[in-house]
Structure 1
Amino acid sequence: MAPYTGAVVLLNAESGEIIVMSTSPTFNANELEEKWQTWMEDKNAPLLNRATQALYPPGGVTGGILLARFLAEYTPSSAVPDYPWNTTAEDEFTCAIQPPANPNWGDLVSSGCVKALSTISRSTLLGDTLKLYKDVGFDQELLLPLEVSVPILPESVASYSDLFSGKAGILLSPAQVAVAVASLSNSGRVIAPRIATAFSPNQIDWHLFEQGQAPRILPNFEPELAATMLTSGNYPGWEVSASAAYQGTSVSWYAAGTPSDWLGAPLTIVVALENTPAVTAREIGRTVLLSATASLSE
Structure 2
Amino acid sequence: MSDYLIRATGFGGHVRAFAARTTEVVEEIRRRHDMWNTASAAMGRTLTVSAMMGAMLKGEEHLSIKIKGGGPIGQIVAEANAKGEVRAYVTNPHVHFELNDKGKLDVSRAVGTEGFLYVVKDLGLREPYQGSSPIVSGEIGEDFTYYFAVSEQTPSAVGVGVLVNPEDRAVIAAGGFIIQLLPGTPDEVIEKIEQHVAKLPQVSRLIGEGLSPEQILERVLEDVKVLSRQEIVFKCTCSEQKIRDILHGLGKEELTSMIEEQGEAEVHCHFCNQRYHFDKPALQDIASKIE
Coarse TM-score class (shorter-chain normalised): under 0.3
| TM-score, L = length of structure 1 | 0.25
| TM-score, L = length of structure 2 | 0.25
